[in-house]
Chains A and B, each alone.
Chain A
């Protein structure tokens, strides 16, 4: 039974991690496509149109990967988490079905039209199809976040005697106080990823002295969007989420901040340190007193409950992983603001393209927004443990009763092998597209 739970969790963690590499780029990228397409409509300068179409090509590769790795996500609710699906399908089935119906249909239909239909439709309609792709991909984020928000902070349901959750109030699923902060934070984080990718491509072109016109354009757009979104990810959206965790999941909050013991006169904020689960303390800690209390409650000496205030079974089951995920996310987010602020400063002084070391840095920074996005999700999901539906349904109660660990390990190994191949092909293809660049190809 323990084995079963372990492999089911590992397979879901692996497949969702790999899947979320793709949508986090496409959601943000669609915004930039719409932006370029809008600039083109306003100015009629050809380079904006080429830039939009080039980014949509990268979007399309990522979208395909997102589709093929996304179908297994939907299926796995039933295959590996059957008991969870049976008990909560009446609720999260709503939001997941709406995702398929409203967003996925929209996105896939109009993506094809955007890519193939420019000549047929004319520029205004072409802009509109781009906008609908953007709408579809953000709506998709909205419904997935609504699903997750219900698991983090369940609302609008009743629990029957046999343990089944039934929907009692549909609209509460979308007015869930967890949803809006989480959605905005997630969308801003996806704009961070796409801005950094675009800035990185720009830096690559400038450093290589090829596609120089687009190099400058991508660099400019990338760092400006990058700075704005990096700031918005931290404040107000990140702050807002942290306050929600403190309010609704105080045990998770204590664990992610690394507070083992409650301090009477205000909690310190931990910058660095390694959780020592034997002695229940942080090793090699560097912390600033009272800041956490201020950030959370705007009061310097307000008490923040530490892990000592909670029963063992209410605490997340992997505290170090949760703590590291959260600190990596916050640490990277801080670095992003610094780098992008510097880049925007040089852009304003009109010599960003001459700052070779900074351009190299921006170019190689590209994996890190992905890591920050994923660790952000790990923070949310590890913090929710040991529950699937916070406070109501334990993760161990959600697994499929009849699927043995041997079968799950078999499929996990298969997914690992297949996704390695997929990842390799993806890199080759994106590399090729970037190498060719946005200049129209001659047939």
Chain B
């Protein structure tokens, strides 16, 4: 039952990163490449119409994590206190940027909220990557000092950074050179994803140019991927074991690779939706490969005193998990129906839609 909930929450989280990922990415593209007012407007609209229903997935993932793995939820949310609250603030800034930019027709007003939308999208992408980096690197569970736990075995607290900025330090901070690399990967991935979204959903004048941008970003992503794989071994030497023991798990890295290789042919891809599917594979493959490499661990311990958190030692009671399965299935079916209805009514380019804005 733990495994089933782990998979469900994994899917919901992946949905969040794919869906909200494109509007984060649209924000990054907006920040760096949209120069004309018309383009800024449609790109903001392509994110603004969808961000709130996309963020529902985050709320759902949070709620399910709370229900199914309460100790993990408690440990991670309090341990990563500052970055999480900062993420909340950025989410708020981004949302008000999107919702308020079109409300008044002054250039200054629009400039302020454009920047708010763009910069917070960029920082959110970076922070989500850093978060993933922290999860694979592990933390000092129980805040062990010279071999003795100073807290209960599953609690920890991380400052934003430690003066060494090294993932190999005894007390790594949230931001170190390893997590930053993963952060950059997230930014580049979501920028590619966002560019694909802009091409798919708008008639902006920079659509042609964005294909070139995607190509260049993809080169950077390939380089970062190779580099990160090397340092990954340094930070978490066991990360290949799962793939060796269970070769079928290789399907996840293959999904990622397919996306990466496919995007090099961006200029030859005829249908925009195919390109979007490739960047979706990047995100899905990236997240699932990272999780698969750790399984069943969900937060490694960097000390020898306290064990890593796994889906088994943090799960709620068996009865709770199975009863939640009953309503969970109903809920998921409903959500899929809503999504289909919504998608059917919002096909096509956003600048051609009559939304009365």
Q: Hey, which chain A residues are within 8 Å of B317, CB to CB?
A: 90, 166-167
Q: Which residues of chain A from 65 to 102 have any CB-CB distance to chain B below 8 Å in the complex?
A: 67-72, 74-75, 77-80, 82-83, 85-94, 96-102
Distance in Å: Cβ of B68 to nearest Cβ of chain A: 7
| Inter-subunit contact B78/A403 (CB<8 Å) | yes
Contact of A96 among B58, B67, B156, B346 (CB under 8 A): B67
**Which B residues form the contact surface with A (CB < 8 A)?**
49, 52-53, 55-56, 58-60, 62-64, 66-71, 73-79, 81-82, 84-85, 88-89, 91-93, 95-96, 99-100, 103, 143, 151-152, 155-157, 316-317, 319-320, 323-324, 327-328, 331-332, 334-335, 338-339, 341-342, 345-346, 353-356
| Inter-subunit contact B74/A97 (CB<8 Å) | no
Excluding A105-B56, A166-B320, 12 further A-B contacts by CB distance (< 8 Å) are A71-B59, A77-B73, A78-B77, A78-B84, A80-B81, A90-B320, A101-B64, A101-B334, A109-B53, A401-B152, A403-B81, A414-B89
Chain A's closest residue to B60 (CB) is: A100
Distance in Å: Cβ of B148 to nearest Cβ of chain A: 15
| Inter-subunit contact B74/A74 (CB<8 Å) | no
27 contacts across the A-B interface (CB closer than 8 A): A64-B95, A70-B59, A71-B55, A72-B92, A78-B66, A79-B85, A82-B74, A86-B71, A89-B66, A89-B67, A89-B70, A90-B320, A96-B63, A97-B64, A99-B63, A102-B331, A108-B52, A108-B53, A109-B341, A166-B317, A167-B319, A401-B151, A403-B78, A404-B157, A410-B82, A418-B89, A425-B100
- With A71-B59, A166-B317, A401-B151 in contact, is A90–B67 under 8 Å at CB? yes
| Inter-subunit contact A425/B96 (CB<8 Å) | yes
Q: Does A339 contact B (CB under 8 A)?
A: no
Interface residues of chain A: helix, strand, loop or mixed (majority): helix
| Inter-subunit contact A71/B84 (CB<8 Å) | no
| Inter-subunit contact B77/A418 (CB<8 Å) | no
Distance in Å: Cβ of A441 to nearest Cβ of chain B: 8
Q: Hey, which chain A residues are within 8 Å of B76, CB to CB?
A: 78
| Inter-subunit contact B84/A75 (CB<8 Å) | yes
Q: Hey, which chain A residues are within 8 Å of B59, CB to CB?
A: 70-71, 74, 100, 104
Q: Does A402 contact B (CB under 8 A)?
A: yes
| Inter-subunit contact B92/A402 (CB<8 Å) | no
| Inter-subunit contact A79/B77 (CB<8 Å) | yes
Scan A94-123; emit 1 where CB is below 8 A from any B CB, else 0: 101111111011101110110111011100
Contact of B345 among A64, A92, A117 (CB under 8 A): A117
Chain A's closest residue to B94 (CB) is: A68
- With A112-B53, A429-B100 in contact, is A67–B78 under 8 Å at CB? no
Scan A409-429; emit 1 where CB is below 8 A from any B CB, else 0: 011001000100010010001
Q: Hey, which chain A residues are within 8 Å of B81, CB to CB?
A: 79-80, 400, 402-403, 407, 411
| Inter-subunit contact A97/B324 (CB<8 Å) | yes
| Inter-subunit contact B52/A101 (CB<8 Å) | no
| Inter-subunit contact B331/A90 (CB<8 Å) | no
Distance in Å: Cβ of B12 to nearest Cβ of chain A: 9
Contact of B320 among A94, A117, A425 (CB under 8 A): A94
| Inter-subunit contact A166/B82 (CB<8 Å) | no
Chain B's closest residue to A90 (CB) is: B316
- With A90-B316, A418-B92 in contact, is A106–B77 under 8 Å at CB? no
Q: Does A42 contact B (CB under 8 A)?
A: no
Q: How far, in angstroms, from A168 to B103 measured CA to CA in the complex?
A: 51
Q: Hey, which chain B residues are within 8 Å of A106, CB to CB?
A: 334, 338
| Inter-subunit contact B56/A104 (CB<8 Å) | yes
Q: Does A170 contact B (CB under 8 A)?
A: yes
